Every structure is written in structure tokens, then in C-alpha cells.
């Protein structure tokens, strides 16, 4: 059968709708009728550039990986799900045999089949197949739209809780107030943060962050003419400490810094403001200048963050189901499946045609009832 309309990236700046075969199930798989899909920056990056690092689009690829839907069919071995169940979809099937998988770090599996990462198709179609244990049943009070947002929320859970080891009454500074940064703040707040500092160069984003999850905000100054990035970052950190009363130790220190911006100066500044013995988590540009003296003398924990791992999706769902995190304010734009091109355009430009700023755009599935 091929009644599976899908949104396909043919090549750079070239997307089309086409029919794809309906996947055949294995005994441990489920086939999900996709109802809601969020657009991630990586989807836009593949559309615009055709690659992210070593992942290059060399053949047509279905886009999308932030999805939720309704179980359409289950494999013969699947007992915990049934047809009609509403599920959030974790979009990375791993080999389960390698050292990373056996060590409980399956997000580092070298053979992961991750949706919409070349050469594997994504979720923006009528149906998507995945291992049944990667489909998480949604509680009644969690919507399918919330379910699609579990993917970026799991990224935040992984960075803050799993890697950052964040606990109640600790403090956090998050650089970048895009969707992932906002969700990192929300996770920290839900876990009982004493202090959540949002950092961004756009004041409107800071205003939203303060209203959503942050307790304080910081707008960095502009670089001075001829100023190097390391010099700027040192000056910026000193100003941030002065304005917000941040210290290197004690109750006013920062336990965890998250970089959700990728900007070199954010990473550099974060090194200066995290407390002695604190933790820095993030992903940045491939080549940045770092002060390893700070890393050494503070005995800082510096960790990269890649997707999500064991327990991240269940905790994300639990935080939403319990009311500790509200995902609805982050969904600013909704599009029908036939309007996916407009959804990508809005996400790419950061605003829709009416001028409204985009935080997260959600595309309904071909058969979704909006």
C-alpha cells in the first residue's frame, strides 16, 4: 500500500508532497497515524543548506521528527499499546547492541535511525513506523499537540536533569530564549529552581522568558569596535555578575549554565559566570575559543548535549501531565498539512505573514481534525 502522503525534501529549497509506501511492521513495532508535528531548526537547516555537519541530504527525505499521533497498528509482540492509543513518538531507533546502547547512552549509538536525519525519512506523513517502546502513551490531560512538543522538551530534560544533575533550590542561567532554551528554563523551574536567569540579545524574547519561566533576565551589551570575542565575553560576564549579583561561590552563585544559543560569546561568558565546581552544558559552533584556565581552576564540568536518552521522555510527559510545565504558550502558529511550506517559511523567517513572531509552529497530519 502507498496511501501515505508525505512532505519530502527533494533538494535544497525544493520540497514536494508525494505518496510514500506505508511501512511494514515488525513484531515489536507500532504504526502511528501522525497527527501533530512541530518544526525544528534542524528541519529548516536541511531545507536551506541540505546538510548539518557530516549529515548530508543525498536523496529525497521526508522531513519532521517532533511528532505525536494515534496508534494505527501494533506488531504481534506489542502488549502495552493498542490501536487508538494516543502517543508521543521518540524518533530515534537504536541498535540496542553496541557499547553505548548497553551502557544506557543509546543517543550515542552509531547506528541510530533518527527521523529526518539523512538518509532516514522523517515523520511528516500520514504514517510512521517505530519500535513500540519509543511510543509513549499520553495521559488524558495531555493533548496530541503537547505530545509533539515532548521531543524538544526531552532535549531540555536531558540537558538540565540528566546531564546537568539539576536539583531543587539550585540556580541556572540559560543562554538563548528559543524553544529549547525556554524549555530548559521550564524544566529547571519545575524541578524547584531557586533562580532561573534568561540571557538573550532580543529584548522581546527576554520579556517572554520572564513571563514564562525565568525569574530574571539579562540583555548583553553590544560589542565595542575592535573588541575581540574573548575580551567582550570577559567584560560581558563582569557586567552580568554586577547587575544580577552573581558570585563564584555561595548562595548567589550559578550551579548550572545551559547554552542554547550556539554563540561563541555565550559559551565564553558562561565559563566566567558558572560557579566553582559548577556545570556547563551545551552545543556550540564547531570551533570556538575557550578559557581552559577557567575550566581548570573552577574544576568545572563541561558537557556536550546530544538529543535525549533513557528516562527523558517519561519525565517530560510527567512534568506536563502534573501541570508543572505548560507547553501551550510556546505554540504560536498552527498549520494544516497542505500548508507545510508556509509553516517552514514562517519558522525560517521567525514570523508569519501577519508579523507575529514564531516560537513553535505545529503542522497537523493529513487526517488530523484541527
316 within some domain: no
pLDDT at 2: 66
CA-to-CA distance for 273 and 187, rounded, in angstroms?
21
Residues 128, 210, single domain; the answer is no
pLDDT at 286: 81
pLDDT in tens, 228-238: 999 999 999 99
Residues 158, 131, single domain; the answer is no
100-104 contacts, C-beta under 8 A, 24 or more apart? 104/309, 104/310
Residues 130, 188, single domain; the answer is no
**367 CB-contact burial (10 Å; exposed 0-12 / middle 13-18 / buried 19+):** middle
322 within some domain: no
SS3 content of the chain, % helix, strand, coil (to 5): 30, 25, 40
298 within some domain: yes
146-160, 251-265, 326-340, 355-369, range with the lowest pLDDT? 355-369
CA 162, 206, 90 angle in degrees (round to 5)?
A: 35
CA-to-CA distance for 347 and 349, rounded, in angstroms?
6
Which stretches of 155-297 are assigned E, i.e. beta strand?
171-175, 195-199, 216-218, 254-259, 274-282
pLDDT at 248: 94
202 within some domain: yes
CB 361 within 8 A of CB 332: yes
Domain of residue 338 covers 5-137+327-364
Residues 107, 180, single domain; the answer is no
Supply the CATH number for residue 256's domain.
Answer: 3.40.50.720
Residues 79, 160, single domain; the answer is no
76 within some domain: yes
Number of domains forming the structure of the chain? 2
pLDDT at 54: 85
Whether the predicted pLDDT of 369 surpasses 70: no
Residues 165, 93, single domain; the answer is no
Supply the CATH number for residue 360's domain.
Answer: 3.90.180.10
pLDDT in tens, 80-115: 999 999 999 999 999 999 999 999 999 999 999 999
Distance of CA 115 to the CA centre of its chain: 14
What's the whole-number average pLDDT of the chain?
96
314 within some domain: no
pLDDT band at 285 (very low <50, low <70, confident <90, very high): confident
pLDDT band at 1 (very low <50, low <70, confident <90, very high): low
Supply 11's cell numbers: 533538494
Amino acid at each position: 500500500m502507498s496511501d501515505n502522503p508525505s512532505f519530502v525534501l527533494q533538494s535544497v529549497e525544493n520540497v514536494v508532497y508525494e505518496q510514500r509506501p506505508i511501512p511494514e511492521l515488525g513484531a515489536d513495532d507500532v504504526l502511528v497515524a501522525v497527527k501533530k508535528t512541530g518544526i525544528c531548526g534542524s528541519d529548516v537547516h536541511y531545507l536551506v543548506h541540505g546538510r548539518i555537519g557530516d549529515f548530508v541530504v543525498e536523496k529525497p527525505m521526508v522531513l519532521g521528527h517532533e511528532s505525536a499521533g494515534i496508534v494505527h497498528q501494533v506488531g504481534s509482540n506489542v502488549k502495552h499499546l493498542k490501536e487508538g492509543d494516543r502517543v508521543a513518538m521518540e524518533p530515534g531507533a537504536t541498535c540496542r547492541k553496541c557499547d553505548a546502547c548497553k551502557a544506557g547512552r543509546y543517543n550515542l549509538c552509531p547506528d541510530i535511525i533518527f527521523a529526518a536525519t539523512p538518509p532516514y525519512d522523517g515523520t511528516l506523513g500520514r504514517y510512521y513506523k517505530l519500535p513500540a517502546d519509543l511510543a509513549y502513551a499520553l495521559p488524558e490531560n495531555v493533548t496530541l499537540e503537547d505530545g509533539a512538543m515532548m521531543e524538544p522538551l526531552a532535549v531540555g530534560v536531558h540537558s538540565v536533569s540528566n546531564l546537568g544533575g539539576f536539583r531543587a533550590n539550585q540556580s541556572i542561567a540559560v543562554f538563548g530564549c528559543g524553544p529549547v532554551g525556554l524549555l530548559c528554563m521550564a524544566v529547571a523551574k519545575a524541578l524547584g529552581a531557586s533562580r532561573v536567569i534568561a540571557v538573550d540579545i532580543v529584548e522581546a524574547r527576554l520579556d517572554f522568558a520572564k513571563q514564562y519561566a525565568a525569574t530574571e533576565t539579562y540583555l548583553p551589551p553590544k560589542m565595542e569596535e575592535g573588541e575581540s570575542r574573548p575580551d567582550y565575553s570577559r567584560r560581558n560576564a563582569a557586567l552580568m555578575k554586577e547587575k544580577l549579583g552573581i558570585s563564584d561561590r555561595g548562595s548567589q552563585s550559578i550551579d548550572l549554565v545551559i547554552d542554547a544559543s550556539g554563540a561563541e560569546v555565550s559559551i565564553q561568558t558562561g565559563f566566567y559566570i558558572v560557579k566553582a565546581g559548577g556545570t556547563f552544558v551545551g552545543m556550540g559552533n564547531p570551533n570556538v575559543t575557550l578559557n581552559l584556565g577557567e575550566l581548570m581552576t573552577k574544576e568545572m564540568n563541561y558537557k556536550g548535549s546530544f538529543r535525549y536518552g533513557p528516562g527523558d521522555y517519561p519525565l517530560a510527559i510527567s512534568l506536563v501531565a502534573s501541570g508543572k510545565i505548560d507547553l501551550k504558550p510556546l505554540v504560536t502558529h498552527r498549520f494544516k498539512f497542505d500548508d507545510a511550506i508556509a509553516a517552514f517559511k514562517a519558522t525560517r523567517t521567525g514570523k508569519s505573514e501577519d508579523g507575529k513572531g514564531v516560537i513553535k509552529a505545529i503542522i497537523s497530519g493529513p487526517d488530523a481534525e484541527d
